[in-house]
Structure 1
């Protein structure tokens, strides 16, 4: 059975916590992460989380969701953006 590829949209307190949980589960793999915070963009997910990557491929945090949510890259997407809709708009 192949791993379920999980993309995370939002990588703040909730998204990174979910990422740690996914990384600890057999059968799940983080396939991509998108966040709009400049401090996170370009960082490697497992390094940022303080988790050994092992033989998992590196995952770089991006600000472009279209490069993360694609049929060929993920099976499911977890939305972990801000709880307040107004906060999502500049």
Structure 2
């Protein structure tokens, strides 16, 4: 009895694998991942993407990649003060006042 179920399961899996393989091949052949798009729709999409590139000044950039950040160690700058402070002079003989 288990053999019959195994045969039915195998035949079902091979059919679904065949369909999923066909769908994957169709997606690979399509442009922009659109399977049933007309040439007009593909042209319109490419124009919109070019417009977005111009707006964000990203022409020639791959917008699908995560940006790479490069951080440099900040340079510590001690600002010069224009205030001049005179400190009281210390007593010479260590005499308590």
Classify the TM-score, shorter chain: under 0.3
TM-score (norm 2): 0.19
Which structure shows the higher helix fraction?
Answer: 2
TM-score by length of 1: 0.20
Instruction: Give the structure with the larger strand fraction.
Output: 1
Q: Does 1 or 2 have the higher relative contact order (CA < 8 Å, sep 6+)?
A: 1
